[in-house]
Copies of this chain bind each other. A is one copy, B any other.
Amino acid sequence: MDFTWKIGGAQGEGIDSAGEIFALTLHRMGYYIYAYRHFMSLIKGGHTNYKVRVSSKQFRHRGDKLDMLVAFDQRSIDENLHELKNGGAVLYNAGAFEPKFPGDVDVVPIGVPMQQIAKDHGSIVMTNMAAMGASAALVGLEPDAFDAFIAERYGKHGAEVVEANRKVVRAGYEAASQVTTWRATLPEIPEENKRKKRVFMHGNDAIALGAVVAGCRVVAAYPITPATDILYSLLKLLPKYGGVVLQAEDEMAACQMAVGCNYAGVRAMTSTSGPGFSLMTETLGLAGVSETPVVIVDVQRAGPSTGMPTKTEQGDAFQAIFSSHGEIQRIVLAPATVEDCFYDIQRAFNLADKYQCPVIVLTDLALGLSKQSVDVDDIDFERISIDRGELLTEEQVKEIAANGGYKRYAITESGISPRALPGQEGGVHIAISYEHTEEGHEDETPFHRVSQTEKRIRKMSTFDPEEFGVRLSGDRKPELLLIGWGSTIGQIDEVRQALAAEGRSVAHLHLSVLYPFPTRAVREAIESAGSVLVVENNAFGQLQQLIQLHVGHYDHMHSCRKFSGEPFNVSEILSRANEVLAESKSVKEVG
């Protein structure tokens, strides 16, 4: 059982803060929250909204429908009414506008003069607080539910401001209580929820936290939506550990800087979104051939080019896997959940050090910016321990130096050449973007070219994508296999459960590693399924193409793509799944 609430208005009216107060308050009460921000790439005037899904159990997406809509203006009604359930309520800013509804909808309009209340009891900028008070009344919260949070957030502006905000909340509460009998019922809070410690964070926060736990100490980046929040989190976390957040002049510099730090032995990363990631194409090659570890986080947004900065998409898989001229070794991870973000970024650092190559972590706007309730037990600081790979100690370097000298690009059986660091006596060496000898000297002779290339290819052979990054749930030999990657896990999971509840045999294969590709696992799953539906948030079907490339072409493989900039709704995947099920059934009947 869940409850969904949304507040909408013009950008600049405090919609985000209102949403966040609502979400965090309910989170603290013991609910599991998923909060989704809808915003635009402009500063003032566009429509913005904040949706909060409230449940007694954990889940991974915003929900298709809406129980209650708080509308600051007509546009908020127009753009969101289609989500409202029958009998749902629209709490509107009475006096500010006269709401219009299509004739045939079953909706309960509730007018509360929120702006007037704000003016009367505080100031007009507190209209959002009147909305909070009114919402509290309608969902059965106490009028003081938000008090703690208000003190936290506005305390720095002085006691007066806090008091005014509280007053406005209460006035909103009173007004709403009187004007309607409509009431939403929030789900029960299971006792165990209250015992559990939980955090409220989004993917970007989890990336930042995981990076710090992984020992990352320098982050060089350039601001870009929706990745900048990673920097904000890191600015809070890193200086504590002497670390540095460096705002670079552009993304080329940012990525080169991350490479430079890693060369010097300090774990470093860069975070960006598509347009910045394209500018790092060159540096991928540098890290590849110089065999310098580097971690790049790409919080995907809708492309191409500047595209839609505030909309989500899974559009950068190809760029992550195939870009940069020539041929380099790399690893591409695609966390599916906030917890994945926390662990995968740590894995990324370990993998980068182990394989001495770039590791790209692909998240997206939906995962990066949607705050969720997560059990603290699932944010385990000790699950993944720091493994710096073949990094030589001062003593080892000295020994090597004494026995013939250190070779940065020594040909080894594993393909991995132990790394000395600058500053280590005896380990003087050159990291280089040219093809080179074992010593790191520029060289174009076929012998070195071939042996170094083979070495670089060989080093990836121990990487097993199936060790992690592959989740399979549901039936073993399903009628329908749903395959997804990254942030769509929540919707696909709900689809699987919905179909299973109808008695369908369904499975869900979810990938969090895209390169090297988990071929065997995908093949097994596909070949044991009646039909297959590949679900992804893009137009080209990038995962589907990867499956074709690595696994094969299948007549029973279908696709479900969404590229509007919005995350999937469960219903969209469900109806496509039903189509596929129907089709495959009719095929069977004929055949």
Contacts and interface: CB of A to CB of B under 8 A. Distances in A.
18 contacts: A40-B444, A275-B325, A277-B325, A281-B281, A289-B305, A289-B306, A304-B324, A307-B326, A307-B435, A316-B325, A318-B322, A318-B327, A321-B322, A450-B563, A453-B539, A548-B550, A549-B549, A553-B553
Most chain B CB neighbours (cut-off 10 Å) among A274, A282, A434, A548? A282
A303 interface: yes
A153 interface: no
A282 B288 CA distance: 20
Interface string A379-404: 00000000000000000000000000
Interface in A277-303: 277-279, 281-282, 284-286, 288-290, 298, 300, 302-303
Contacts of A307: 289, 326, 433-435
A326 B322 contact: no
Interface of A: 40-41, 273-275, 277-279, 281-282, 284-286, 288-290, 298, 300, 302-308, 310-311, 313, 315-316, 318-319, 321-328, 433-435, 442, 444, 446, 449-450, 453, 457, 538-540, 542, 545, 548-550, 552-553, 563-566
A489 to B, nearest CB: 22
B548 A310 contact: no
A432 to B, nearest CB: 8
A326 B446 CA distance: 37
Given A289-B304, A300-B325, A453-B539, 18 more contacts: A41-B444, A275-B282, A282-B305, A285-B303, A289-B307, A290-B305, A303-B324, A306-B434, A307-B326, A307-B435, A315-B325, A319-B324, A327-B538, A327-B539, A327-B563, A446-B565, A457-B539, A548-B549
A318 B326 CA distance: 8
A298 B308 CA distance: 29
B304 A325 contact: yes
Nearest to A298: B325
A288 B539 CA distance: 14
B553 A310 contact: no
Nearest to A317: B322
Nearest to A311: B444
A308 B444 contact: yes
A273 B565 CA distance: 35
A554 to B, nearest CB: 10
Contact of A326 (B274, B444, B453): B274
B311 A327 contact: no
Nearest to A432: B306
A328 B540 CA distance: 9
A556 to B, nearest CB: 15
Contacts of A288: 304-305
Contacts of A540: 327
Given A278-B285, A319-B322, A308 B434 contact: yes
Can you tell how many copies of this chain the complex includes? 2
Nearest to A450: B564
A278 B316 CA distance: 16
A439 B269 CA distance: 40
Given A286-B305, A545-B549, A319 B325 contact: yes
Most chain B CB neighbours (cut-off 10 Å) among A310, A326, A453, A545? A326
Contacts of A325: 273-275, 277-278, 298, 300, 303-304, 315-316, 319
A542 B325 CA distance: 12
Nearest to A565: B449
A72 to B, nearest CB: 19
A138 to B, nearest CB: 29
Contacts of A327: 303-304, 315, 318, 538-540, 542, 563
Contact of A564 (B321, B449, B539): B449
A323 B40 CA distance: 26
A323 B326 contact: no
Contact of A279 (B281, B322, B433, B566): B281
Nearest 9 Cβ contacts at the A-B interface: A303-B326, A304-B326, A274-B325, A446-B564, A322-B322, A285-B305, A323-B323, A306-B433, A549-B549
Contacts of A279: 281-282
B446 A302 contact: no
A315 B41 CA distance: 38
Contacts of A304: 285, 288-289, 324-328
Contacts of A324: 278, 303-305, 319, 323
A267 B457 CA distance: 41
Contacts of A328: 303-305
A277 B553 CA distance: 31
Contacts of A303: 285, 289, 324-328
A232 B438 CA distance: 37
A323 B446 contact: no
Most chain B CB neighbours (cut-off 10 Å) among A318, A325, A453, A538? A325
Contacts of A552: 552-553
Contacts of A290: 305
A336 to B, nearest CB: 20
Contacts of A434: 41, 305-308
Given A41-B444, A444-B40, A449-B563, A326 B313 contact: yes
A566 to B, nearest CB: 6
A60 B538 CA distance: 43
